[in-house]
Amino acid sequence: MKNILISDKLAEAGINYLNDQPDLHVHIQTGLDEQGLCDIIGDFDALLIRSDTKVTQKVLQAGKRLKLVGRAGIGVDNVDLAAATEQGIIVMNTPDANATTTAELAIAHLMSLSRHLPIADRSVRSGKWERSKLMGAEVAHKTLAILGFGTIGRIVAQRGQGLGMNVIAYDPFVAPEVFASYEVESVGLDDLVSRADYLTLHCPLIEKTRNIIGTQQLGSMKKTAMLINCARGGLIDETALFEALKSGQIAGAALDVYENEPPANSPLLTLDNIVFTPHLG
């Protein structure tokens, strides 16, 4: 009998599947901090998480029986991979599980920004009728710039092409023939940023991509450009983004992910030209 700990909210269907396995004993306990997780992890053979649980070196060292950490989702930046490797603990993720969901959310944010939907909604609710002011713009023939051309980035590209957008992308780990097969132009990062009408991020958070969008990149963008992030909060320097939005250096942004979640004290919350969602992707 193997003991499985689920420390984040998972889909009921997945939990039912695990409970149906005769050789597994499933225990669910969410909302644990590092010490709380350390206190109980020693009794378990596997740990199943989403994005809330932080699997630190301390947690892994406390997991004397731990053989597997399973991430229901794509990113594994909340797991200390080096420590897991050192201890022989397998870390698995589900890279395709929510790819379409995340890609569609990015497109939803793109459309929301292009037509000022949240602002228009608030305007009508307050008794105003600002049709000309909030008309927005078509996305057809605009440039959709994708940073990261993995599974999600490729779905976003297809959706963007379906909307009649010109799609360019940057990903140094993807072969030229892959870009060609999707009829997407491969460009460098500087070119991507400067040409974007809509810049959407779909790369993992690693040391090289942390704050990959900062003051320099935001300063190179068109003043009419929009930034969308449904990947990882640490990809954007949020202080630089606040200044760029406040000064009008870029026109708007939409965030589903944040450096700290929830972003309770973020100055970004004081701005009108940004749309927020609570990590729905």
- 43-77 residue pLDDT tens: 999 999 998 999 999 999 999 999 999 999 888 88
Q: Would you call 27 a catalytic residue per the annotation?
A: no
The span from the CA of 189 to the CA of 275, in Å, is 24
Exposed/middle/buried for 55, CB within 10 Å: 0-12, 13-18, 19+?
Answer: buried
Residues 2, 25 contacting (CB under 8 angstroms): yes
99-276: same fold as 2-92? yes
Of the listed 86, 138, 183, 261, which one is catalytic? 261
Catalytic residue among 232, 238, 243, 259: 232
Give the pLDDT score at 95: 81
- Per-domain residue ranges of the chain: 2-92, 99-276
Question: pTM (2 decimals)?
Answer: 0.84
Given a contact cutoff of 8 angstroms between Cβ atoms, the answer to whether 201 and 228 are in contact is yes
Q: Is 232 a catalytic residue?
A: yes
Region 99-276: CATH code: 3.40.50.720
In 76-182, which ranges are E strands? 90-92, 143-147, 166-170
Mean of all residue pLDDT scores within the chain: 96
pLDDT at 96 (0 to 100): 80
The mean pLDDT value for 163-172 works out to 98
Domain 2-92: give its CATH architecture.
3-Layer(aba) Sandwich (3.40)
| Residue labelled with tokens 């990113």 | 75
pLDDT tier at 97 (50, 70, 90 boundaries)? confident
Q: Which regions of 130-186 does DSSP assign to beta strands (E)? A: 143-147, 166-170, 185-186
The token pair that represents 136 in the structure block: 């927005």
Using the predicted structure, report yes or no on whether residue 98 has a pLDDT greater than 90: no
Query: What is each CA distance from 201 to 132, 163, 175, 208, 228, in whole angstroms?
Result: 31, 18, 19, 14, 6
**pLDDT tens-digit map of 141-164:** 999 999 999 999 999 999 999 999
Residue with tokens 């889909």: 11
Instruction: Establish whether 279 is a catalytic residue.
Output: yes
Q: What integer is the mean pLDDT of 165-187?
A: 98
